[in-house]
Structure 1
Amino acid sequence: MYVHSTEEVNTTRYLALDQMTDNPFHLREDNSKNSSMLTLASGLLSDEQFFIIFLVIIYVSQVINNCVIIANSLCIAVFVKLGFSEPSNISLTALAVCDFTLAVLSTWSNLCFWLTYHNVQLPFHSANVSYLSGGVQWAFLSTTVAWITAFISFERCLCILVPLKVRRLITPRGTFVAMLIIVLLTFCPSFFTYVRYTFVWVYNPYLNTTILNTISVNSESAVLLEKLLVAICGVIQPLLAFSIVLICTVLLVVQLRKISSWRMSVTSVKNQRVQAEENPAASSSAAGVKISQKEERLIRMIVAIATIFIVSYIPTCITLLCYVVFDEFNMFGGYRRLFLVSGYILSLGQPISGSVNILIYYKMASKFRSAFRRLVRLDRQQQERHELE
């Protein structure tokens, strides 16, 4: 390892599982503070089982990533075509950009692990380097996605609660600023990870060359910073965003039911007059929840997006809680293998959510559907078919 001072040597340790082996997934005993945890972790998954399961997960993950990349590329193109005069277009574009970036980061990690599995000689330790150059960013960016979804849900709630003031409260410029603030508070702190973990060149005797690897700084300030990042950005922020999405979704569903009930009660002029005469207060309250069909379609679309997000994000919340409760459940602990396998399985929910959004937009948003058809020239093809017939 190339270092420049004795102090740096004393305040760092290898993150590599074993520099004297070709297998980056080899579980070394000194990674675990508890021998019973080591036995449990290694006993649950043998080498053969681990590699088979992990390879299948990588292939499945990459298929989903490809769908996410294609779907969100189309979403971004459509929203750019529609313009950003509507605040919802800005927030939905930001959501599509984040989903696209998540898929790219996941693809990078999958590629590194796939090359490692096939014993491809690389100028870097693929498992550790990909974790710091893709895995960490993926974790922080997933929190960004959670908060953007929370903002979108909250915006729709305001449209219901204060419909006359929402145009002044939620403006295109304000939405753009809100997206920037969310990114600054959720994703940008990921760069502080490099205070605790950093890259270093080490000599690998098996390859007879110097390769890029990672080390961690064990100074008190660096360790304290890591704990704060994990607590705030890794636990509090995601769970808070999840709670906001859940509450706003429930409120939107309840309000949609009220609107549907009200519309059923006033299907005829006669019923409406009777209702106003018998209970003027109820009639006034019902009129207060009346919204345009365009707004109602948008609310239904947001409810669908939020519901899919809630279902797909529950496994991530479980992983975060396990990460906090079990000290060895991390990339470099005794539960390394279980962390990798369970983390990859549970994180599949995020790209699935990102790939389904385009179907929701196409089904529920008429402007998006029209712009999408013009973008892929479906309308022109349909018109040409009619002309030929």
Structure 2
Amino acid sequence: MGLHDITNINFFSLAISDLVSALSLVLIMITNNTDIELPSGASIDEITHVTSFILYANSAIAGFITTILSMERCLCIVAPLTVKKVVTGKRIVVLTSIFVAYEMVFVGLLIGKTGPPYVGKSPYRALYLLCSYSVISLICFVIISVSTVFLIIRLKQSLSWRKKTSTAPAGQATSNKEAKATRCVIFICMLFILSFFPNLFVIIFASVYPTFSLWNPYFTRLAYILCYVSFMSQAISVSTNVIVYYTSSSRYRQIFRSLFPCFKEEK
């Protein structure tokens, strides 16, 4: 579909993030349910912990990209004439690259500074996860929630205004294209909000009870349940974004069917 459009760049970045999250979740589920030792003598649980660090970082990256998506759509409604000058593809790529590099630094610190072995609760791990995941994810959650409500409220108003001012067929086509893009972003944002709720509960619960962890015998069962629900909700989120793309974009459907002949419609 090309990377000339800002929305396509964000969707492409989010698709890569979804793929990394999906592979990480699969690896975590396999290693977490396998009781073997690595050739080095270490437990396979170490792979689970390292992969979870990558998953946390990638979740923050997905939240950051979704935030950019929602803010860009809001600017398209508030300032449609200046948004293309302020938000450019090059700036989006630079911002996303900087944020990915920021998260990778903390992944390196989590792997190198806190282990192995990754057993017990480390103060360094808590600090690194706070800076790389919890705080950033909460900020993104708030921004995405507010911008999604704003997009839903303004969508009908914007469509009504465009219909009144766009008398030419080309203007009407542009209006329909913008409306479809806005709806797609709204669905993506809503998926992020719903999938982040279990993580939000964990963050709030851990703030109230700092001793909350998998290694605390009083919270072990609850922690495992919350982690499982969080992983499942995230798995559903990263797996259903493609459905949103497919149902929201006719061009995406056309290219998807050309790549996968089994999905072509019978004439």
Q: Give the TM-score normalised by the residue count of structure 2.
A: 0.86
Partner Cα separation in structure 2 for residue 244 and residue 294 of structure 1: 24
Q: Deviations over 1:220-269 (max 9, x none)?
A: xxx4x4453243223211110001101111111111121345478x59x9
**Number of residue pairs the alignment of both structures matches:** 258
SS of the residue corresponding to residue 115 of structure 2 reads strand
Matching of residue 113 in structure 1 with residue 39 in structure 2: no
SS of the residue corresponding to residue 348 of structure 1 reads helix
Partner Cα separation in structure 1 for residue 104 and residue 201 of structure 2: 21
Query: Would you say the 8 A contact 2:50–2:111 is kept in 1?
Result: no
Matching of residue 374 in structure 1 with residue 225 in structure 2: no
Matching of residue 311 in structure 1 with residue 194 in structure 2: yes
SS of the residue corresponding to residue 85 of structure 1 reads coil
Residue of 53, 56, 67 corresponding to 1:150: 67
Query: Would you say the 8 A contact 1:234–1:320 is kept in 2?
Result: no
Cα gap change, 1:91 to 1:370, in 2 (>3 Å): same
Partner Cα separation in structure 2 for residue 83 and residue 262 of structure 1: 30
Q: Letter of the aligned partner of 2:179 in structure 1?
A: E
Query: Would you say the 8 A contact 1:87–1:171 is kept in 2?
Result: yes
Q: Deviations over 1:71-101 (max 9, x none)?
A: xxxxxxxxxxx11111111111111111111
- 1:185 deviates by 3.0
Partner Cα separation in structure 2 for residue 253 and residue 310 of structure 1: 14
Query: Would you say the 8 A contact 2:120–2:215 is kept in 1?
Result: no
Partner Cα separation in structure 2 for residue 105 and residue 263 of structure 1: 43
Matching of residue 348 in structure 1 with residue 266 in structure 2: no
Q: Letter of the aligned partner of 2:95 in structure 1?
A: A
Residue of 202, 208, 217 corresponding to 1:325: 208
Partner Cα separation in structure 1 for residue 112 and residue 47 of structure 2: 17
- 1:215 deviates by 6.0
The correspondence of residues 120-199 of structure 1 with structure 2, limited to 5 A, is 120=36, 122=38, 123-127=41-45, 129-199=46-116
Structure of higher RCO (CA pairs closer than 8 Å, 6+ residues apart): 1
- Unpaired runs of 5+ residues, structure 2, are 168-173
Q: Which residue of 2 aligns with 1:363?
A: 247
Partner Cα separation in structure 2 for residue 341 and residue 169 of structure 1: 44
- 1:184 deviates by 2.3
Q: Which residue of 2 aligns with 1:98?
A: 17
Q: Letter of the aligned partner of 1:330 in structure 2?
A: S
- Unpaired runs of 5+ residues, structure 1, are 1-81, 200-212, 270-290
Query: Would you say the 8 A contact 1:140–1:187 is kept in 2?
Result: yes
The correspondence of residues 1-389 of structure 1 with structure 2, limited to 5 A, is 82-116=1-35, 120=36, 122=38, 123-127=41-45, 129-199=46-116, 213-214=117-118, 223=123, 225-262=124-161, 292-334=175-217, 335-377=219-261, 382=265, 386=267
CA RMSD of aligned residues (A): 2.6
Cα gap change, 1:229 to 1:84, in 2 (>3 Å): same
Q: Letter of the aligned partner of 2:244 in structure 1?
A: I
Larger proportion of strand? 1
Query: Would you say the 8 A contact 1:150–1:241 is kept in 2?
Result: yes
Query: Would you say the 8 A contact 1:327–1:333 is kept in 2?
Result: no
Q: Give the TM-score normalised by the residue count of structure 1.
A: 0.60
Q: Letter of the aligned partner of 1:126 in structure 2?
A: I
Cα gap change, 1:376 to 1:294, in 2 (>3 Å): same
Q: Letter of the aligned partner of 1:373 in structure 2?
A: R
Cα gap change, 1:104 to 1:154, in 2 (>3 Å): same
Larger proportion of helix? 2
